[in-house]
Structure 1
Amino acid sequence: MFGDMMNMMGKLKETQKKVEETKKRLDSVLVDETSSDNKLKVTLTANRTIKSVEIDDELLEDKEQLKDYLILTLNKAIEKATKINEAELAATAKEGMPNIPGMDMFK
């Protein structure tokens, strides 16, 4: 039994390491989102770090319109990045879960 527990602990540590590696890799996965009229484009990582924002000069003339565009486009980009992030981390965690009796609901 003690050997099984040590084996499970080793498997959990290995999975934790893989999750951390996945998080680092997600820093290089870029997500682009563009407004419907292409006046605003944002790029962020799958870890939801903003990398760039491109703004059409026309939007710079209307502060309120620019705010609206930023809110809509950033929220869409964050939603996309979150879905990628969660799917990747869930797959990594699921792959490395040890076989613990009664915990098969996660598989």
Structure 2
Amino acid sequence: VDALKEVAARHGASPARVAIAWVLSRPGVSSVIIAARKTEQLEDNIRAVDLRLSDDDVRQLDAASDPGVPYPKWMVLQLDTAEDPRSKILHPERYTEGGPWKDLRGPRWSS
């Protein structure tokens, strides 16, 4: 919300208008569902179509809304770097020179 308020202040717009303009700037987005209780809110929401955000504005809003690496992807990435204990039994030839993780283990694991 802080990033929305900062960008809104730079443009003299409401945070809602900035949020709608930002969503509309996303690739693949062709429409946005809006809601308003008052006519003024509806008019402000509609004005988002005319609001042009700079590349810096978009980057700031993207960074503020970035959730990081979501589950399960972070777990998959972690598992991709883990050693499967079955590998030594199923593929002993891979471990003749210290295995595929030799360079990652450091001197403690070197033979």
TM-score of the aligned structures, taking structure 1 as reference length = 0.32
Structure of higher RCO (CA pairs closer than 8 Å, 6+ residues apart): 1
Give 1 or 2: higher strand fraction: 1
With the length of structure 2 as denominator, give the TM-score of the two structures.
0.32
